[in-house]
Amino acid sequence: MFINENAGIIILIFGILILAALGVLLWLTYAVHRRFASVRLQFTGLQASDLNAGGAYAALIVGNNSVREIALQELGVRCGNVAYDLTAVYKRQQGLGEEAHVVIEQRRSIRFRLDGEALASLGAGSKKCVKLRLYAVDLTGNVYGGRIRAVERMLAALPPASAEGPLQQA
């Protein structure tokens, strides 16, 4: 008798529970997809110091948070509307040939460094860089970017370099 008399309320309660469970399931699916399946690069710029040589440099790190590997066509630093391609610098530091692709494996990162002289030449010949962004272009043309604030502060503390710096020579 209780079930027959309160059938509407019971169906309403079960309907709300099913909708809530469906909402939680959709949210979990979206969170897992966003965290692992979508291609995301994380950019970090650190102000570092070499204890042996005694010089300061910028350590630039590009991390791949997805479960797919990403092959990069270009890797560099952007200052305003001017982009400085650092792919050759990275390949030279890692001992890669000119024709080799820069590949970031799944759930891994790559790291390279710019010394103070190369960093100072980023803004040479133009206005001082206020916002620095590390960027990467994959083989399909997708552009990823992230701000590197610690390197901005390091660049602001450096004296300006000549217009013919190490990055322009590379």
| pLDDT digit string, tens, across residues 26-75 | 999 998 887 777 777 999 999 998 888 778 899 999 999 888 889 999 99
Cα–Cα distances in angstroms (integers) from residue 131 to residues 53, 149, 150, in the given order: 29, 8, 11
Q: Model pTM greater than 0.75?
A: no
Question: 67 by DSSP, 3-state: which?
Answer: coil
Residue 112 has pLDDT above 80, yes or no: yes
Q: Which helix (H) or strand (E) holds 7?
A: helix 7-32
Buried b (16+ CB within 10 A) or exposed e, 8-36: eeeeeeeeeeeeeeeeeeeeeeeeeeeee
For residue 6, which amino acid is it? Answer: N
